[in-house]
Amino acid sequence: MNLLLISSGAVVAIVVVAVVLLLVIAAVAWAISCYNSLKSLVNKTEEAWATIDVHLKKRYDLIPNLVSTVKGYAAHESETLEKVVAARNFAMSATGDAKLAAENALSGTLKSLFAISEAYPDLKANANFRDLQNQLAIVEGELASARKYYNGVVKTYNTKLDVFPSNLIAGRMKLQKRKYFELDGADERQNVKVQF
């Protein structure tokens, strides 16, 4: 009879150890899965930002050609042209959150550059200017798509940092929320006036 009690006691102990071991394995598996998921989102946000950088580089490369073309037709508009060049240079050198503000400022100065072209019919008719303007429009479209993708990835990333229980792992990893790439001013949210 004692032999039977010892064996059933041993079975209970084995079952308890097995359950505890399974819980530990499940917790470790969850932690690894959560860590990998967060690292994947970090990499996606960096990749999305790098894509924006590629399109910004294309934009930066087009701006000097555009400015020099406009300069040939509207030399007395030098203040606007200087602002465009200064905004481009500042945007190229900005990093982090300052990059977002610099890009929004550059977009504003580009609008003023195209407003100048409205006052100069010869400039608007110039094939080189039209080609540069079309290339810039394509780059701006690609940039808008890249910004949309980046903001989507940032939304997923920030949500993962906020929700339980993944926020526990994110806190241990010292991950910080990322900012969306968005417009700063109300004037940038206005519709563009199109004339035919």
In a domain, residue 174? The reply is: yes
- Of the given ranges (18-22, 83-87, 180-184), which has the lowest mean pLDDT? 180-184
Query: Above 90 in pLDDT, residue 193?
Result: no
Residue 153 in this model has a pLDDT that exceeds 80: yes
Residue 98 lies in a domain: yes
Residue 131 has pLDDT above 90, yes or no: no
126, part of any domain: yes
How would you label 43-54 residue by residue, b for 16+ Cβ within 10 Å and e otherwise?
ebbeebbebbee
pLDDT value for 146: 93
> At residue 121, does pLDDT exceed 80?
no
User: Around 148, how many Cα atoms within 13 Å sit in the side-chain half-sphere?
Assistant: 6
Q: What is the mean pLDDT of the chain?
A: 82
Stretch 173-194: mean pLDDT: 66
For the packed helices 127-162 and 2-73, what is the interaxial angle rounded to 10 degrees?
160
For the segment 94-122, the average pLDDT, to the nearest whole number, is 80
Q: What is the pLDDT of residue 196?
A: 28
Look at the alpha carbons of 87, 88, 89, 93 in this order and tell me if their dihedral is positive or negative: positive
Read off the pLDDT of residues 29-81 as tens digits, 9 standing for 90 and up: 999 999 999 999 999 999 999 999 899 899 888 888 888 877 777 666 777 78
What residues make up the domain containing 175? 45-189
Is residue 113 within 8 Å of residue 80, measured between CB atoms?
yes
User: Does a structural domain hold residue 102?
Assistant: yes
Establish if 12 belongs to a structural domain: no
Number of domains making up the chain = 1
Residue 124 lies in a domain: yes
**11 is a domain residue:** no
Examine residue 83 and state whether it is found in any structural domain, yes or no.
yes
To the question of pTM greater than 0.85 for the whole model, the response is no
What the block records as the tokens of 164 is: 């339980």
142-155 mean pLDDT: 93
